[in-house]
Chains A and B, each alone.
Chain A
Amino acid sequence: DAKTTQPPSMDCAEGRAANLPCNHSTISGNEYVYWYRQIHSQGPQYIIHGLKNNETNEMASLIITEDRKSSTLILPHATLRDTAVYYCIVKYTGTASKLTFGTGTRLQVTL
């Protein structure tokens, strides 16, 4: 699985958009980009995933660059409950359910 690089921490004001970047410059053609988050002391929670097209669901939007070497997770209106560690994971088709977590980005949403 390709390696990912994320900033260790970010701050965001409540109500503003949180844009979390992820670099995955060694991604290969059949690897997907997944985002999970982990709120303190809870199990990780799936957010969104994509291959090459931008994706949106009720939680967030995922923007993948055309060369697929980086992506951005967007939380459109961050709330205090979005404070968590966000993990960007690149997942190869052949590794079934195995998720390789990096160190993630600790997002702090403040008033």
Chain B
Amino acid sequence: KAGVTQTPRYLIKTRGQQVTLSCSPISGHRSVSWYQQTPGQGLQFLFEYFSETQRNKGNFPGRFSGRQFSNSRSEMNVSTLELGDSALYLCASSVAGTVNTEAFFGQGTRLTVV
């Protein structure tokens, strides 16, 4: 079956702009999580959505937001972009987000803020 699909794969934005990233989970998966990966901070958890509700949130400013649709697809939005937001943004899906399930990651969206 198809894996986790993230679009776009690459993005270049200017400081102050906003950006929306998309994630389509594996069919049947209801939990979608987002992560940011930078050379300095490594992989950091942003938030998790389950059944259209945010269930868990990492330590990021309010400029980072997300949502999940009824078909489990998810989007994350970053407003007022800063240079430090340049990163690889990864989406992961799992069946129901419980402890005994593994997460499947997409290839990521590489965002560059100039």
Enumerate chain A interface residues (CB-CB to B < 8 A). Answer: 32, 34, 38, 41-46, 49, 87, 91-93, 95-103
Interface presence of B94 (CB below 8 A): yes
Q: Is the CB of B43 within 8 A of A101?
A: yes
8 Å CB contact of A42 from B58, B100, B104, B107: B107
Q: Apart from A43-B92, A43-B106, A43-B107, list 10 A-B contacts with CB within 8 A.
A: A41-B108, A44-B105, A46-B102, A93-B99, A97-B50, A97-B101, A98-B45, A98-B56, A99-B43, A101-B42
Enumerate chain B interface residues (CB-CB to A < 8 A). Answer: 4, 31, 33, 35, 42-45, 48, 50, 55-56, 58, 88, 90, 92, 94, 97-108
A91-B107 Cα distance, complex, nearest whole Å = 23
Taking CB atoms, residues of chain A closer than 8 Å to B31 are: 96-97
A41-B90 Cα distance, complex, nearest whole Å = 11
Whole-angstrom distance between the Cβ of B23 and the nearest chain A Cβ: 11
A104-B102 Cα distance, complex, nearest whole Å = 18
Q: Is the CB of B42 within 8 A of A97?
A: no
Taking CB atoms, residues of chain A closer than 8 Å to B44 are: 101
